[in-house]
A = this chain, B = another copy of it.
Amino acid sequence: MLVTKQTFSRPEFRFEPANRTIPLRLGYETYGTLSPARDNVILVCQYFTGTSHAAGRYTPTDPLPGWWDALIGPGKAIDTDRWFVVCVDTISNINFHSPTVVTTGPASINPATGREYAMDFPIFTLKDVVRAQRLLLDDLGIRRLRCVLGPSMGGLQAYLWGRFFPDDVDKVVAVVSTPMMRPSCLMVPNQLGMDAIMLDPNWRGGDYYGHEPPTRGLLLAFKILLTETRTDHWAESNFGRRFLDPSFQASPNPFLSFQGRFLVDAEIEKTVVQRMQFFDANSYLYIAKANTLFDLREPGEELPQALAHLKMPVLMIIDESDLMFTREQAEEALPHLPQGRLETYDSRNGHLSCLYETDHFAGRLASFLA
């Protein structure tokens, strides 16, 4: 499936918490064909470090397809022979330096100053992200969505759609996600990742554009994130206790300097460094901040009241081995959802199974959509 990045622009978009208006541009992609009645639309929302490239390839020789390509395509669980699938970049997409990401964030030029926004970019919430998606769909002439879904932070957005646009959404699926942001998740990966970036002397209060970027702080933030979104089982079965250099292992004194490395650390670092060349550190700060501000409640409301607004069928898919968004959280919310349903699996590999082990839930997702 060959796909193209498209662009949506608004000369003025109001960020709710700051009540500040700036020009906004978002990249998005679509898969499948919009029906003449425009009534076959599914919105897929991206995870924390993802983009709107959810499926397909830009050219036949792309080494990797979009991140949920196993689920989205002709005959797949999200069947593009039937559905018209839309995926939109979040505001302030972390992958700012990727040639296919065109989305406004702190690394964009502020037309009022001619310089990067940096930390003058307005703080936003995931509700702003969802409001921007609503405007894009208006532009496409799409009023109603058959389903909104996404993994992890994509699930947060799906819940927000169900809560704040209940009349526009037939079904919600939150994959390995949560309707509440518990305090432990405020910390890991969000607050601790922010702390790591701001600790790097190269961060310079966010004004690092044109200078050496805060690569080490960003690396630590991503190592914290990757460690939390995997499990002991995953690390043990992939790396064990092996050293990076096998000759270490044979020696009686294997590890005599602070430069020596275990394989698990080196491999996590390698994965991050490969992707990090495209990352903007300030964008990490803004999206992590948006995560900590995730809230289905209106001021003065308790969570059960907020959940009661999601009147459509809501499918929660939980990985029992996920350390972040636990079965316990889902079970706490379930009785308050008028048409809630909980499905679980156990990948033993933790949170990131929502991206890399989609077979665990592809069938159940397809049935729910049918």
Give the contacting residue for A183; candidates B241, B285, B295; CB below 8 A. B241
Say yes or no: B293 contacts A182, CB within 8 Å: no
**A168 within 8 A of partner (CB):** no
Shortest distance between the CB of A182 and any CB in chain B (Å): 5
The answer, yes or no, to whether A133 is at the interface (CB within 8 Å) is: no
The verdict on A61 contacting chain B, using a C-beta distance below 8 Å, is no
Do A184 and B252 touch across chains, with their CB atoms under 8 A apart?
A: no
Q: Are A18 and B253 in contact (CB under 8 A)?
A: yes
Q: Is there a chain B Cβ closer than 8 Å to A342's Cβ?
A: no
Contact A256 B17 (CB under 8 A): yes
A147 to chain B, nearest CB (A): 28
Chain A window 72-86, contacts with chain B (Cβ cutoff 8 Å), 1 for yes, 0 for no: 000000000000000
User: Does A333 belong to the interface (CB within 8 Å)?
Assistant: no
Q: Would you call B220 and A196 a contact (CB within 8 A)?
A: yes
- Cβ contacts under 8 Å, A323 to chain B: 323
Q: Which of A17, A181, A183, A199 has the most CB of B within 10 A?
A: A183
A292 at interface, CB cutoff 8 A: yes
Instruction: For the A-B complex with A184-B230, A184-B231, A255-B289 known, give 20 more contacts whose Cβ atoms are closer than 8 Å.
Output: A123-B258, A181-B241, A182-B232, A183-B240, A184-B264, A186-B262, A186-B264, A187-B227, A192-B220, A195-B220, A195-B223, A196-B199, A198-B258, A199-B216, A199-B217, A199-B220, A232-B326, A232-B329, A251-B299, A252-B299
Chain A residues close to B by CB (< 8 Å): 16-19, 119, 123, 180-188, 191-192, 194-196, 198-201, 216-217, 219-220, 223-224, 227, 230-236, 239-241, 250-258, 262-265, 268, 285, 289, 292-293, 295, 299, 323, 326, 328-329
Contact across chains for A224 and B192 when beta carbons are under 8 A apart: yes
Cβ-closest 10 pairs across A and B: A183-B264, A183-B235, A201-B201, A184-B232, A184-B235, A17-B253, A187-B227, A183-B239, A195-B220, A191-B265
Pick 18 A–B contacts, CB within 8 A, sort by A: A16-B253, A17-B253, A17-B256, A19-B253, A183-B235, A183-B239, A183-B262, A183-B263, A184-B230, A184-B232, A186-B264, A192-B227, A198-B258, A199-B220, A232-B326, A232-B328, A241-B295, A323-B323
A342 to chain B, nearest CB (A): 17
Could you tell me the dominant secondary structure of chain A's interface residues?
Answer: helix
State in angstroms the CA–CA spacing of A240 and B254 once bound together: 44
- Indicate if the CB atoms of A235 and B187 lie closer than 8 Å: yes
Residue pair A123, B256 in contact (C-beta under 8 Å): yes
Alpha-carbon gap, A194 to B180, bound state (A): 32
Collect the chain B residues with CB atoms within 8 Å of residue A119's CB. 258
Evaluate contact between B194 and A196: CB separation under 8 angstroms: no
- Among A234, A239, A262, which residue has the most Cβ atoms of chain B within 10 A? A262
Smallest distance from the beta carbon of A184 to chain B beta carbons, Å?
A: 4
Question: By the criterion CB–CB under 8 Å, are B184 and A227 in contact?
Answer: yes
Task: State whether B262 touches A17 (Cβ < 8 A).
Answer: no
With a cutoff of 8 Å between Cβ atoms, the chain B residues found around residue A328 in the complex are 232-233
